[in-house]
Amino acid sequence: MSQPITIDIWSDIACPWCYIGKRNLEAGLAATASDEDAPQVDITFHSFELSPDTPVDFDGDEIDFLAGHKGMPREQVTQMLDNVTAVAAKAGLEYRFDLLKHTNTVKAHELLHHAKAAGLQHEMEERLMSAYFTEGKHVGRVDDLVELAVEVGLDAESTRAALESETHLPAVRQDQAQAQAYGIQGVPFFVLNGQYGISGAQPADTFTNVLRDLWAKRDGAGAGETAEAEEAATV
């Protein structure tokens, strides 16, 4: 049996486009599921902090943060959030920026590595993003993160111990170093088979087409075919 296509995703759970990109990838995969020879994939999430200097308890809402962090007029920030909310809705997500609690995400990234070790990374990624963007839950404090971890099946005691001791912080930093080595400056960023990059929350069709192309050429692709796949995947 052929090896699955590896998809390494650099993202931040506090990145609205990352959640949209995740949904679009899932839709792209769903579109290939009925193929006679459906692509097989192995997905891994990697840490990327968009705003590592953010305090755990930010005093203000998302408009306050973006207006202060990016120096944008509040009216422009509001328009930008309305736009991303509309795009999210098309992906089946109901963003609630009015409830969102902006926070530092390094502990959430540590939790994702803890969940990965238990085979629950995908479930934890989904739970964190849903909690942050649609439910207004705090995802920066240990107590709140432990509660979310238990919801996906992780042990509360071992999760708390891992977060308080920063067991997985080196893995977070390693992900960030790899992102820097790849030249990744924004997320989401998808690396397929360690060679082909897809930047941003691309439409589901983009993922469908790239996955089918790479899967069809997985065995004995010539140099020309490989170059063609790279061109198709780098967007």
Q: What tens digit of pLDDT does each residue of 72-97 get?
A: 899 999 999 999 999 999 999 999 99
Q: What tens digit of pLDDT does each residue of 189-224 get?
A: 999 999 999 999 999 999 999 999 999 988 654 333
Question: Peptide bond before 188: cis, by omega within 30 degrees of 0?
Answer: yes
* Distance of alpha carbon 33 from alpha carbon 139, whole angstroms: 33
| CA nearest to 20, candidates 73, 90, 80, 107 | 90
Beta strands in 15-84 (DSSP E): 41-47
Q: Evaluate if residue 232 carries a pLDDT over 70.
A: no
CB 217 within 8 A of CB 225: yes
Beta strands in the chain (DSSP E): 5-11, 41-47, 189-192, 196-199
| CATH numbers and ranges of domains, the chain | 1-48+186-235 (3.40.30.10)
pLDDT for 1 equals 64
**Cα 74 from chain centroid (whole Å):** 27
Q: What tens digit of pLDDT does each residue of 48-58 get?
A: 999 999 999 99
